[in-house]
Homo-oligomer: A and B are copies of this chain.
Amino acid sequence: MMSEIKPLILVCNDDGFFSPGIKALAKVASEFGEVVIVAPDRQQSAVGHAITMSVPLRANELTIAKKYKGFAVNGTPADCVKLAHGNLLERKPDLILSGINHGSNAGINILYSGTVSAATEGTILGYSSIAVSCTAYPEEADLTGAQEAARRVIKFVLDRGGLPKGVTLNVNAPAGEFKGIEWSRMADSRYVEEYEGRVDPFNRSYYWLTGEFELLDDGSDSDIHILNEGKATVTPIQYDLTDYSLLKDFGSNNL
């Protein structure tokens, strides 16, 4: 009798390998297959889809939460996925998970998110990839609901044999117990009044980011609306940024 080969699941994040969120996600992943963690060696929030080019990357092998094989990388979330794909893993992963992020990656946050970028990078490289975030920032936040949301989405993806080319699933969940999950779209939103000007002891100005989130979207099918009702959300996202309808409209103008 041949031994069954379990799916290999790569888990990464942007909060760093020591974050409670990545352990919570690795735990769920381990219900479905063999887990390898490749994550930044420090906090990398709001790095967007940054890639490290000017310094060499190093990957230190270690065991995370006493049971998951892992690597800590001196790079961004997208670096971690690229390096795992190119050099660190012994076989190709069947699934890439990113998270659980401490803080929402719904609405416009998607654009700034290292968590989502790691998953998108996985998608670009041809893997089925899922980003998972909990809307609560505190490290001690109850991730039970986010774990259950992740569990259901992972099952959905594995049951159908993977995701279509070019699509990433972006999951968000409130803190606390699971109260359902719905398909959603990215809410139109932005940050406003974002810098608080101060003066340092040497009379020089400096600015702290103090973004206030503004929801510009009335729809009941947006990720933020559904999250505000207490449920988790899953939004299919893609990375072709072309505005096709406007291209059709503008394309007749000679420049």
**A→B interface (CB under 8 Å):** 43, 45-54, 56-59, 78, 82-83, 86-87, 108, 110-112, 117, 120, 124-125, 152-153, 156, 164, 166-167, 181-186, 188, 190-191, 193-195, 197-198, 204-209, 234-244, 246-247, 250-251, 253, 255
Q: When the two chains form the complex, which single residue of B183, B190, B207 contacts A56, counting CB atoms closer than 8 Å?
A: B207
B242 & A58 in contact (Cβ 8 Å cutoff): no
B255 & A246 in contact (Cβ 8 Å cutoff): no
Given known pairs A207-B56, A236-B242, A242-B237, the reply for A195 and B108 (CB within 8 Å) is: no
Which residues of the partner chain B approach A193 to less than 8 Å between Cβ atoms? 86
A198 & B241 in contact (Cβ 8 Å cutoff): no
A59 & B205 in contact (Cβ 8 Å cutoff): yes
A206 & B56 in contact (Cβ 8 Å cutoff): yes
Residue of B nearest to A52 (CB): B209
B156 & A111 in contact (Cβ 8 Å cutoff): no
B49 & A195 in contact (Cβ 8 Å cutoff): no
Known: A46-B53, A184-B247. 9 other contacts (CB 8 A): A47-B48, A48-B117, A57-B209, A78-B112, A87-B207, A156-B253, A185-B242, A188-B240, A235-B242
Which residues of the partner chain B approach A240 to less than 8 Å between Cβ atoms? 185-186, 188
Residue of B nearest to A117 (CB): B48
B237 & A195 in contact (Cβ 8 Å cutoff): no
Q: When the two chains form the complex, which single residue of B82, B153, B184, B239 contacts A111, counting CB atoms closer than 8 Å?
A: B239
What CA separation (Å) do A194 and B204 show in the bound complex?
A: 43
B234 & A241 in contact (Cβ 8 Å cutoff): no
What CA separation (Å) do A234 and B247 show in the bound complex?
A: 9
Which residues of the partner chain B approach A205 to less than 8 Å between Cβ atoms? 58-59
A255 & B87 in contact (Cβ 8 Å cutoff): no
Most chain B Cβ neighbours within 10 Å, of A125, A207, A250:
A207
Residue of B nearest to A87 (CB): B195
Given known pairs A190-B125, A235-B247, the reply for A50 and B53 (CB within 8 Å) is: no
B207 & A247 in contact (Cβ 8 Å cutoff): no
B255 & A152 in contact (Cβ 8 Å cutoff): yes
Given known pairs A49-B48, A237-B242, A243-B238, the reply for A57 and B195 (CB within 8 Å) is: yes
What CA separation (Å) do A59 and B181 show in the bound complex?
A: 44
A156 & B188 in contact (Cβ 8 Å cutoff): no
A51 & B112 in contact (Cβ 8 Å cutoff): yes
Which residues of the partner chain B approach A207 to less than 8 Å between Cβ atoms? 56-59, 83, 87
